[in-house]
A and B are shown apart, each in its own frame.
Chain A
Amino acid sequence: MTESVFPEARGGAGPLAGAGAVWQVARAGVRRRRVQTAVVGIVVFCSTVSVVVALGLLESVSAPFDRAFAAQRGAHLVAVYDPAKAPASAPARPVPAVTAASGPFAQATVTIPDTVEHLPPGPLTVVGRAGPGGPVDRLDLWSGRWPARPGEIVLDRPPNPHWSYLLGVRFTVPERPQGFTVVGLASSLSRSAESWVTPAQAEELRPSAAQMLYRLGGAGTDADVRRAADAITAALPAGSLLGTQSYLAVKRDHGRTASAFLPFLAGFGVLGLVVAVIIVANVVGGAVVAGFRHIGMLKALGFTPNQVVAVYLAMILVPASAGAALGTVVGGLAARPLLDDIGLSVFNVALSPWVYAAALAGMTAVVTLAALVPALRAHRMPAAPAISAGGGQPSGRGRRVHRLLSGARLPRPVSLGLGLPFARPARTALTLAAVVLGAATVTLAAGLSGTMTAYGAAAQRVGHVHTVIHVGQARFRETPPRHGDAGIETLLRGLPGTVYVTADAWIDLHVVGQPQPIMGRFLRGDSATLGETIVEGRWLEGPGEMVASPAFLEQQGLRVGDRLTLSLGRARTQATVVGVTMSGEPDLIHADWRTLTALSPSAKATQYEVRLAPDADLEAYHAAVRAADPGLRPVAKSRTDQNAVTVIGFASLLTVLLGTVAALGVFNTVVLTTRERRRDLGTLKSVGMTPRQVTVMMVTSMAALGAAGGLLGVPVGVAAHRVVVPAMARAADIVMPAFMIEVWSAPLLVPLALAGVVIAVLGAYVPARSAARLTIATVLRGE
């Protein structure tokens, strides 16, 4: 055995042997390929940003609620019983599905008069509890203290210092003329009540119900909760259960907006990830092809095949890791305003570390895998042929196409450009895929914009209501109107420009048996002209009818034709569901004015919605309203829907991001092609091809690909839109009419098909210009 020339050399073949050499060669490769290094870094950065935002949102939909709910040992099921029918101990008897129970607590309703400042008028659910703790629904008493004596009350408010002004507020209600003093503010994620008093105080308020709170062993689905409720109430006398409330409905309510954003952000996240994989594979593939001689020399020098692969992986992982790290940070920062925009900041939580870890590790792993496939080609390549293959100038492929094109009646730079993509089919396929996904992203964003614009117009009832006249409220220190309710309506109908007037009263009331109140919007006048979009059934036509949002009906387990009992104070009336609105809050119903009259004969309208004549001047109309009664406050109806604005804004931002990434894919391909075809370019320039013709040739080579990519990308984008939009609608409890989903038309699709060309030309132009500036003498001297 011969002695090594370098006695200090470790001759082992361990996994780390030669790592220094690998790193040195990889580092030199990174320095030599600055453009590709930058492309990989930017692409991975952009994709990581969109992935972090999507993952952050995914987590925010449920994680903060789940954490807070678990900390409070929230009630999976709130059941309300009629104490006259159910024996006091019966609801608390052991049932296998129940892991913990609390109650029964006396539940009463008091009515806040509209003269009380700081508190909304209407019914207030009051529950008698000895303290905020207990085995279930441990209230977060975040300000003040628990009631210790009669007349003290704790209000349910989210933990936000904004509400602290309520501490110490005194108010009286008809049910307790001596009044209440607010001594504390607590938050219940179970939404078990709107306020709490001592048990003795609750008994004094003549409770109409008894509340039980349950934690369940299995409560993952609506069916689980329903089964548990059935088991709990199975042995109770008929009619003793007044109502139940599942925590899943509360949870969905918390995450509804975020859930609606999830499908489209996830869609963009997936698109970003796939484009990144394609581009990384293309970059590494190009580096391997261009580096045949380099690979051969490394192997000739003694690099093992695995070390050669390691060189190529390291070359990619350097910029990819930097891009992923920066993208994770920027993604975290970008996610925050989005979460604020869609109302998730109520939990005031930062993204979990797993979001950052998953994005960082996941993107790095995906990039490694994408790089590994072409790098393995370097692994397999024998040294001698690799050295003789030289600089990787392609030859032999696409000749038939070149021959066909050379006879075509096209300027020669154009026909040469059209033939270029056929020389490298794999690279062309990857570039085409990037352009297809870029065009699909643009199409998806355009479709989303179309859908959200149509939705926004329907939600804001654009063209149906031009102005809303609010009635001044003394308790808000506003000037009260000089006219009465009927007088205001008559006044408005008599003003020039008025076409239709609908009087609205927004009243808090209860569905009998539910601890949480709902909002009733009672309508009088020309309510059929309000422009509410009805997706099932019909609009209101008479007394005792109501329409509601899909979310309300789902939460209450109702459908068109069902009846329910509404209560306001001690008054009750029944209403039949006759229609379903396109969207709306889960606690909002619309009903005819006569339904309100049955509950509160003296109720008055709080606002009037007016449609104006097409030629009416809105400002002049508002001035006329104020002049007629200073107690009326006209506000122009907004024409923009905030959700639509947010979705369109984010979709546009992500489209620019992913469009740039796709264009970088094209950029990279043209850089690779230019590098490989330096000799051809030099030759063409030596025989008189002008710089402009070189630019045209290189741009044409990608523009043709862009045109094909656009044609393929549009159907992909349309398909993605068909998946994403219904998923968004489902998550937001919206039933979208078909015209909001079928937003595609020829005038929209044709420019979208050109998106691929735009991406390709934008990506190709800069490297094409640099190809045009190649110094021929340098290129040809190299040969």
Chain B
Amino acid sequence: MDSHHDHDARLVVRLDGVRKEYGTATALDGVSLAIRAGEAVAVMGPSGCGKSTLLNMIAGLDRPTTGTAEVCGRDLGAMTETALALFRRRNIGMVFQFFNLIDDLPALDNAALAAQLTGVPARQARDRALELFDELGIADRRDAYPSALSGGERQRVAVARALMNRPALLLADEPTGALDSRSGEQVMDLLIDLNQIGQTLLLVTHDAGLATRCAGRLVELADGRVVAEHTLEHTA
């Protein structure tokens, strides 16, 4: 019993029979999935198979129609909108395909925003953002606005923003989908590095190369169901 409890305690994500319907369409059909702390999991599948919906369930951006979505030990389906927002703030970092940066804010302020929302003073938030910019190699672009950044730079800013509050789980939705191959490679390396230092990572992609390079486990979705799971071996 104790060992089972210990085993569950290390779970960051636990989906149990999650079903999601939009009107008459079923996006997820009884998905069960567990992700342990420090794991890097990639979810793959064709367009419309439910990848993004799965990611939204885990991020608390959407709620299951039936089933349970537990993240960091919290049942997201039972939480209010405000509680979900506070939960996301503390536990989840998100990276999107199209970056979703605020155009009116310079790069550093875009990243600092995530910390400022928790009440961290502007200067402290910027210092933390600058540390991350240093680590991600974009410190010299701190004052540039998103429109002046390359795709790779924008995605690094997005990653910095996602890491600002040291999240338990980093979610990446097609993080290289809008990037040229060189920038995509850089972002891939960045995600690998992050996982190697212990960051739990859930990656949604249809890019097999990205999945196999970054993830330790591959989950395949089709028509809203998990159709296969593979453990991937990486050579050091």
Residues of A within 8 A of B (CB): 393-399, 402-403, 406-409, 411-413, 419, 423, 679-680, 682-693, 772-773, 775-777, 780-781, 783
Contact = CB atoms under 8 A, between A and B. Distances in A.
A583 B67 CA distance: 80
A688 B109 contact: no
Contacts of B147: 395-396
Interface string B199-224: 00000000000000000000000000
Contacts of A684: 102, 113, 117
B100 A688 contact: no
Interface in B108-123: 109, 112-114, 116-119, 121-123
A777 B103 contact: no
A407 B53 CA distance: 36
A413 B89 CA distance: 14
A408 B109 CA distance: 12
A777 B56 contact: yes
Given A399-B145, A781-B52, A783-B98, A687 B114 contact: yes
A399 B104 contact: yes
A399 B144 CA distance: 11
B86 A682 contact: no
Contact of A412 (B59, B94, B101, B117): B117
B96 interface: yes
A688 B147 CA distance: 24
A691 B98 contact: no
B227 interface: no
A683 B59 CA distance: 13
A397 B82 CA distance: 31
A407 B161 CA distance: 17
Nearest to B83: A690
Most buried by B among A393, A395, A689, A780: A780
Contact of A683 (B85, B90, B101, B145): B101
A406 B110 CA distance: 10
B86 A402 contact: no
Most buried by B among A394, A687, A691: A687
Given A686-B59, A689-B117, A690-B81, A679 B100 contact: yes
Nearest to A403: B106
The 3 closest A-B pairs by CB, nearest first: A688-B89, A412-B116, A690-B85
Contacts of B109: 402-403, 406
Interface of B: 52-53, 56, 59, 61-62, 81-82, 85-86, 88-90, 94, 96-98, 100-106, 109, 112-114, 116-119, 121-123, 145, 147, 161-162, 165
A690 B100 contact: no
Contacts of B162: 687
Contacts of B81: 690-691, 772-773
A170 to B, nearest CB: 86
Contacts of A680: 102-103
Contacts of B52: 777, 781
Contacts of A686: 59, 61, 88, 94, 96, 100
Contacts of B88: 686-688
A510 B14 CA distance: 102
B61 A777 contact: yes
A628 B88 CA distance: 85
B155 to A, nearest CB: 14
Contacts of A781: 52
Given A395-B147, A407-B123, 19 more contacts: A395-B103, A395-B104, A407-B122, A411-B119, A412-B113, A683-B102, A686-B88, A686-B94, A686-B96, A687-B88, A687-B94, A688-B85, A688-B89, A688-B90, A688-B114, A690-B85, A691-B82, A776-B56, A776-B61
A687 B110 CA distance: 11
Contacts of B113: 412, 684, 687
Contacts of A406: 105, 109, 112, 116, 122
Contacts of B90: 688
Contacts of B112: 406
A691 B145 contact: no
A771 to B, nearest CB: 12
A690 B82 contact: yes
Nearest to B93: A687
A691 B85 contact: yes
A586 B160 CA distance: 82
B190 to A, nearest CB: 18
Contacts of A693: 85, 117
24 contacts: A394-B104, A396-B145, A399-B104, A399-B105, A399-B145, A403-B109, A406-B109, A419-B104, A679-B100, A682-B100, A686-B88, A686-B94, A686-B100, A687-B94, A687-B162, A688-B89, A688-B90, A690-B85, A691-B81, A692-B82, A772-B81, A776-B62, A777-B53, A780-B96
Given A406-B112, A687-B114, A780 B100 contact: yes
Given A685-B85, A688-B85, A783 B118 contact: no
A697 to B, nearest CB: 10
Contact of B117 (A402, A407, A688, A773): A688
A398 B104 contact: yes
B96 to A, nearest CB: 6
Contacts of B117: 412-413, 684, 687-689, 693
A680 to B, nearest CB: 5
A762 B118 CA distance: 27
A526 to B, nearest CB: 71
B226 to A, nearest CB: 20
A777 B85 contact: no
A353 B230 CA distance: 82
A783 B104 contact: no
Contact of A402 (B62, B82, B104): B104
A689 B147 CA distance: 23
Contacts of A692: 82
Given A685-B85, A687-B161, A777-B56, A409 B104 contact: no
Contacts of B114: 687-688
Nearest to A691: B81
Contacts of A775: 61-62
B66 to A, nearest CB: 17
A389 to B, nearest CB: 13
B103 A396 contact: yes
Contacts of B96: 683, 686, 780, 783
Contact of A408 (B53, B122, B165): B122
Contacts of B97: 783
Contacts of A773: 81
A686 B89 CA distance: 8
A783 B100 contact: yes
A525 B168 CA distance: 93
B80 to A, nearest CB: 9
Most buried by A among B52, B61, B94: B61
A776 to B, nearest CB: 4
Nearest to A680: B102
B61 A690 contact: no
Contacts of B98: 783
A15 B52 CA distance: 49
Most buried by A among B52, B62, B101, B102: B102
Contact of B105 (A402, A689, A690, A691): A402
Nearest to A686: B94
Nearest to B158: A683
Nearest to B118: A688
Contacts of B119: 411
A394 B105 CA distance: 12
Contacts of A413: 117
Nearest to A677: B102
Contacts of B59: 686
A680 B100 CA distance: 7
A755 B81 CA distance: 32
A688 B86 contact: yes
Contacts of B94: 686-687
A673 to B, nearest CB: 12
Nearest to A393: B103
Most buried by B among A409, A419, A690, A773: A690
